[in-house]
Structure 1
Amino acid sequence: MGRGKVELKRIENPTSRQVTFSKRRNGLLKKAFELSILCDAEVALIILSPSGKIYQFSSHDINRTIAMYRNQVGLPESNNSSFRQARTMEFGRNNENEELRRSIDNLEMRLKNLAGEELDMLGMQELKQLERQLKTGVERIRSQMGRVISENISLLKGKHKALQEENSRLQKRVKLHELHYADPSSSRISGPNAYMQFIS
């Protein structure tokens, strides 16, 4: 049993419209590719999405195919055509993407160089510059380590002093306890007088 006939009208739901666009666009691009292979046809397909994004397929040089089409239908060459503007926009996006890829590659190579890897392609000047950068980095790391160590030492000294004071207080309490409960027959002074003598 076949599918029912689809009514061709604009899809109102934006999500469904985008899904349908993606599926049918891919289908069109696939069919264009298959036609060019199976029938040895020169095929050029251009799709502009509602947002203005360009999708294209060309089995040969697309500019040549378009020039042949314009010649066949008698259209004059126009430098200000919408297609040329769209191609210029796409070319700009491609250049921007390529520039970003190059920047990422350069940064990855720089990180490898800083880790001491893949140094064979560097000349003497580049190696010296890398050495200076590493020395500067090491100095900054050592400076930060010195600050952290100094802060930790100060913190530990404060804790040590607090512990010493607590220890001193505890020792005084122990001595006071011993004096208070000393044997009355001993030569030690006991009672309140002992406490007064201890704290004086």
Structure 2
Amino acid sequence: MSARRAFLILYTRVEIEEYNPMVRSRIQIKKIENIAARQVTFSKRRRGLFKKAQELSTLCDAQIGLIVFSSTGKLHNFSTTRMSQIIQRYMPHTNNLDHQLDASLQPQPEDCAILCKEVAEKNRELRQMKGEGLEELGIEELAKLEKKIERSCARVRHMKDVKCEKLITGLKQKGCKLAQHNKRLKEKMSEVAEVHTLENQSSSSSSKHSSYLQNYNAKLDTSLKLA
């Protein structure tokens, strides 16, 4: 196969995978929040894991034992032979594994030396950023330090401006909400005042009507007495 033909085949395959909606996309490895989807994925992948273990045992004549606990605490296991036999073979090796793990966790002298050197360098840079220990620096190093401090100050000022803008925007929004709330309160107060005015008018008219009735009754009584 010529190089040109191989390139065309590869290019066509890439185009098909790019524009074909049926091509499976890469799944992001993170915890599945949906409980039902999590259980379905666990069941499918558990079966796939056990199948791969069976294939590995068949191909390589290996003894394999798998122990899996689901999120609900249910036990699932797979073994090419009896699980107890595999565990018995595994137990004598636990001490060696613990020893290897402890040895791997112990820091090596070379790593300690590198870390100490990096810490000393960072401490020196920090002191220089504070304006300490500048006597040992030359003109070029001082110029570089000045530019670094200017960039840091620019970033600090930019972040301060962003924070101030957010604060001002939040205060403006609160002011608008308070103004709307005050407007609604004024409308309610005007409505209450109108209701009180109507009540006062109705009470005054009723009092006038009652006084008119009293005067009429008094005149009627007087006329009856005279009669």
TM, length-normalised to structure 2: 0.40
Could you tell me the TM-score, scaled by structure 1's length?
Answer: 0.45
Higher RCO (CA < 8 A, seq sep 6+): 1
